[in-house]
Structure 1
Amino acid sequence: MLHEIKANQRKKISLATLLTGLVCLSVLLTVSILLVASYQSKKRSLIDTTLTLNFSSASKMSQTINSLFKSMRSSLQYSSSIFSNVNAMNPDEVYASLELMRHSSNYFNSISIVDETGLVRNVSPSSIGTAGKYITTEAAKAALASQKPYLSKPYIAASTNRLIVFMSEPLFDKEGIYRGFIGGTLYLQEYNILNMIFGSNPTDKVGSYFYIVGSDGHLLFHRDTTRLGENISANQVVSKLIQGQSGYEQMVNLHGESLLAGYVKVPENGWGVVVVSPISVVYEQLIRHIKSMLLYMMLPFSIFMLIVIGLARRLARPFISLADLVGKIGREHVDLPEGKQHWNREVDLLSTAVRYALTAIKKQTDQLTLDAMTDPLTGLTNRRTLEAIMHKWIEEGTSFSVIIMDLDRFKSINDTYGHQAGDEVLKHFAKIVTSTVRPSDVCCRFGGEEFIALIPQANAEEAYLVAERIRITLQNRDNPVGKPITVSQGIAHYSSHSDSAEELIHLADQALYKAKESGRNRTIIADIGGE
């Protein structure tokens, strides 16, 4: 009988073992919930940030291409006035002018002049060999027939088998009689102005890339040059670009890859710019984030587990309330219990360990939040936080002024004294700005040597006085490089200048540009209406 009793006892789970197992399970569950919650939150944040950055990059590239094609069009328009009476000009002089035009701007791979009959009067470079021949391509014939500015869709030239985009301007003599056109070509599969601008332009995130499509969905620029000319109009974002839409979204491309895409239409020529990042890049960052969290949590939770295992034999019912508290973490907001001593010594120690671990997690989360809002070099607010504050004030109808500041000739400081000295100058200037403005004002490092201050409840004239104090203080105060440093500043006011955050920064930047052009070391207020 005694033997049977002992055998039955061995089959039972001891209270100490049960409590230890329950506590271990609760802790592991808590950690899992925290990790899952952090994973999901970080995932959404990374996806949204990547989409926003890709859309911003696509917008900047679209603006660049738009300005580029306007300049190319202006170049042809200017040349059309020079060659309006090409029949009366010396062919050698015409060729020399075309060569000069092609080499000085690098806009076009080739430039040709065609008279009203379709005869190619001159072409640069001469190696193309079309001079003295009649045009044969449909694009050239369409340009000749239209007698208007013309931009072709990408096509393959039969004579050279090149993928080409063709742009032309009509030629009219002094009597207004049509005399043909001057046209330039871009060889998309060879070195051209697009390669020059974007060929060495990496994206911000590893693995990200961009491509440019024509108005009909054909690839005009891609990191894989063998794909140039490929029709990808079935791609979901390309089809939206063809319809004139811009935006950002998560998508699957024609090869089945899941991507985060930002896409923008180019107004001048109907092209589209698409910047994409593989979704795998986000997951790689998530894995690094989870590993970092585990590393930070390892020590406090290891200590916690050791304490629990050592005290498990002495814990009883009070342990249940602690387990319930830990089980709620990650699923709902939990206020940490006050640090009062418990009547049970073991429970008191365990409560302290739980508070320590959760406080460490909260401290880490708070630090990550602070890092996301702060410029690491100067300690000032970063650009993302500044833009959020501006939009919040605009939504609330709060009057404020924007002071945009740019250190004069900062590049020469880096070149002369080194980047470390340049960093000290930036921190020096940041201290001057923060010590000059009010505690309620917002100071931000906008990028490089450019800073922005938001002055709430201040008109442009009041902000001007603040900006002048900053400028004069910087000019007169000793600095890390030992020679005078100056700053140029531009000011815009909400809402007398604009009711848009982006437009306010743009107007202040224009005023800053005027200050630079006017000799630097001065402050200029933006004109009403951007005049």
Structure 2
Amino acid sequence: MQFYLATSFIFPRSLRLRLFTLCFIATHMPLLGYLAWGLATGRIALAEFVLLTLATIVGTGIALFGIGALLNPIHALADALHQGRGDAPLLPEVGDVIQTLYAGVQRARDRMDDLHQAAHEDPLTGIANRRGFLSALDALPAERRRGCVAIIDIDYFKRVNDLSGHEEGDRVLAAFATRLSALVRRVDLVARWGGEEFAIFFQDCIEDEASWTLARIAARMRSDPIGETHGRPISFSAGICRWNGEPLEQTLRRADEALYDAKQAGRDRICRAAPIFQEA
């Protein structure tokens, strides 16, 4: 299709003439090469030149006959459809049909990309949603499936909606997503887990590093709050769990349990998942 578009300047309204031009040039390339060699060396033979010219003309005729035979069914179908529709306008040229089909394929591809993005991106915050988060982690190669997973919950978020309205709640969610994305590394993945919960995958990161990063974000939330409830800066609680490539569901469950511990301990804090003790 790229070649078709690149040659569209040659008889743009007639695919048949475009094919003729390309075939004529292609079949006469040996003749042109021989002519250039003969002029450069002075050893051109008239009889050989005439014979080669006749051969290329015959080859061009055969190619054009085959092309016409291939295009005839398309034109016959167009004529039949036109006759069956009375005064309906003629169908477009074959070249136009091809270009239209290509444009349709491009639109369909763009539409598929849009649908994929909509399925994996949270429309409010612009970051990945739960499906996008899980898909991204599932697509990681085995050697990169390690680090820490954090589940984060905005403290007392219901009060924001109740006291200030849902528009303010949406603003807080978007601002919090922006804050998280800005204060983690580019290799880390931030997602809206659902409601006022968020998730972060800290790639190739130990628990101490992940905890320090979240503590830095928490301090920023106090010094530069994204909003307030009852005169206090909006804060968050978080649960962290180490992930070494084991089933992700287990890691997420343990991170969620650590988040529960943080909320039970008074919120505005970060807790780590309890270690798993294996029996001897």
Residues 408/353 of structure 1: CA separation in 2 closer, same or farther (3 Å cut): same
1:423 CA displacement = 0.8
Q: 1:370 aligns with which of 117, 137, 141?
A: 117
Which structure shows the bigger proportion of residues in helix conformation? 2
Matched, 1:487 2:236: yes
- Alpha-carbon separation, structure 1, partners of 2:101 and 2:127: 34
Partner of 1:420: 167
Residues 521/397 of structure 1: CA separation in 2 closer, same or farther (3 Å cut): same
Unpaired segments ≥5 residues, structure 1: 1-333
Kept in 1: contact 2:184–2:213 (CA 8 A):
yes
Residues 460/378 of structure 1: CA separation in 2 closer, same or farther (3 Å cut): same
Kept in 1: contact 2:259–2:270 (CA 8 A):
yes
1:507 CA displacement = 1.0
- Alpha-carbon separation, structure 1, partners of 2:3 and 2:125: 34
Name the amino acid aligned to 2:192: R
Partner of 1:63: none
Query: Could you list the per-position Cα deviations for residues 7-60 of structure 1 after superposition, in whole angstroms to 9, with x for gaps in the alignment?
Result: xxxxxxxxxxxxxxxxxxxxxxxxxxxxxxxxxxxxxxxxxxxxxxxxxxxxxx
Paired positions, count: 196
The secondary structure found in structure 1 opposite 2:233 is coil
Query: Could you list the per-position Cα deviations for residues 470-494 of structure 1 after superposition, in whole angstroms to 9, with x for gaps in the alignment?
Result: 2222222242558510001110011
Matched, 1:472 2:139: no
Superposition pairs of residues 56-95 of structure 1, within 5 angstroms? none
Partner of 2:8: 341
Kept in 1: contact 2:153–2:196 (CA 8 A):
yes
Partner of 1:242: none
The secondary structure found in structure 2 opposite 1:529 is coil
Residues 368/425 of structure 1: CA separation in 2 closer, same or farther (3 Å cut): same
Superposition pairs of residues 26-45 of structure 1, within 5 angstroms? none
Query: Could you list the per-position Cα deviations for residues 248-275 of structure 1 after superposition, in whole angstroms to 9, with x for gaps in the alignment?
Result: xxxxxxxxxxxxxxxxxxxxxxxxxxxx
TM-score normalised by length of structure 1: 0.34
- Alpha-carbon separation, structure 1, partners of 2:2 and 2:112: 16
Partner of 1:160: none
1:465 CA displacement = 1.6
Q: 2:155 aligns with which of 408, 418, 439?
A: 408
Matched, 1:511 2:261: no
Residues 385/450 of structure 1: CA separation in 2 closer, same or farther (3 Å cut): same
- Alpha-carbon separation, structure 2, partners of 1:402 and 1:493: 6
Q: 2:196 aligns with which of 441, 449, 465?
A: 449
Partner of 1:462: 209
- Alpha-carbon separation, structure 2, partners of 1:337 and 1:469: 56
1:408 CA displacement = 0.3
Once the two structures are overlaid, the 10-residue window that deviates more, 340-349 or 456-465, is 340-349
Kept in 2: contact 1:375–1:445 (CA 8 A):
yes
Residues 524/481 of structure 1: CA separation in 2 closer, same or farther (3 Å cut): closer
Matched, 1:357 2:104: yes
Query: Could you list the per-position Cα deviations for residues 132-154 of structure 1 after superposition, in whole angstroms to 9, with x for gaps in the alignment?
Result: xxxxxxxxxxxxxxxxxxxxxxx
Unpaired segments ≥5 residues, structure 2: 15-94
The secondary structure found in structure 2 opposite 1:464 is helix
Residues 464/367 of structure 1: CA separation in 2 closer, same or farther (3 Å cut): same
Which structure shows the bigger proportion of residues in strand conformation? 1
